[in-house]
Amino acid sequence: MLLLGLVCVVMLMAAFLGLLGSAQAARGRAQGAADLAALAAGSRLLPLGGGDPCGIAAQTASRNGGRLSSCADEGGGVVRVRVVVPTRLGLATAEARAGPTSARG
């Protein structure tokens, strides 16, 4: 009986660690997609970039397994994006900012 209880506890711990690992991996995918989306949007703000920065950010996030949930041109060549990635437990969210170092704040 004690052995059966111990096996159940070990199985529950393994399942919990699996879900935790899955959530961490989704968070990493969301951060990667957000970083790339911000860089892509920032490139559209360059003098020769042209085009819609938030449109290219949405496309880049989608191609990297995420969905753009917000995009803001903060002026001065700075863009901030938020990307969500679906997981078994809900949504993993990440934010990223791209722009010149002179615009740090």
- The 10s digit of each residue's pLDDT in 14-54 is 999 988 888 888 999 999 999 999 999 999 988 877 788 99
pTM: 0.81
Out of 9-13, 39-43, 101-105, pick the least confident: 101-105
Question: For tokens 């290219």, what's the residue?
Answer: 56
Residue 16: other Cβ atoms inside 10 A: 10
Q: How far apart are CA 52 and CA 60, in angstroms?
A: 12
**C-beta separation of 73 from 51 below 8 A:** no
Write down the pLDDT at residue 3.
Answer: 86
